[in-house]
Amino acid sequence: MNRLAILGASGHGKVLADTAECCGWQAIEFFDDAWPQIESVSEWQVIGDTALLKGKLQSYDGVLVAIGNNQVRYHKLLELVEAGAMIPTMVHPTAIVSRYATLEIGSVVFAGAVVNADARIGMGAILNTGCSVDHDCVLGAGVHVSPGARLAGGVRVGDLSWIGIGASVRELVRIGSQVTVGAGAAVVSDILDLMTVAGVPARILPTKGKK
């Protein structure tokens, strides 16, 4: 029986567990740092926290992190890699991933997503339901492409950036690290690191407290 541990008893964790079952994983157990206050997530038991998981890594054929916050997810993934965890990728059977695309460890591709030829997806990335990542895109570590978002060919997205639900990014655009792209935005020009953008076309939002 192949066994998968998921760190993060969240809504994202439910989708990941469901995807894992569709991929043939037979036993799935959750861990969360809010345990024992959290004892279950949907149909699955939460049986410990990060420390307990690190002590049981040899019991699992794979370990994935299901935490929506990009920075937290990525740092937890690095912690587990350092501890010797086996970190797979997870691709839903209805997703279409080109054989010429590259997925690094810990990345997940959910139902209906499309990843085209020569796209490169970084460690711990989330390609969420029905999104598309076209040819020659390069996504850094810990990136999250939300449901229904569209990246045209040759787009580059830096580490830990988040592309909001239904957003679109024009071909060859460069998006920096730790950028937030708002829901439904249309990104037509490059975005520097640490920016938050929204709208059609996407514009930089002012920092809180400043006009």
Residue type, position 21, single letter: E
Three-state helix/strand/coil letters over the chain = CCEEEEECCCHHHHHHHHHHHHCCCCEEEEECCCCCCCCEECCEEECCCHHHHHHCHHHCCEEEECCCCHHHHHHHHHHHHHCCCCCCCEECCCCEECCCCEECCCCEECCCCEECCCCEECCCCEECCCCEECCCCEECCCCEECCCCEECCCCEECCCCEECCCCEECCCCEECCCCEECCCCEECCCECCCCEEECCCCEECCCCCCC
- Of the listed 12, 75, 92, 135, which one is catalytic? 135
In the residue annotation, 135 being an active-site residue is answered as: yes
- Catalytic residue numbers? 135
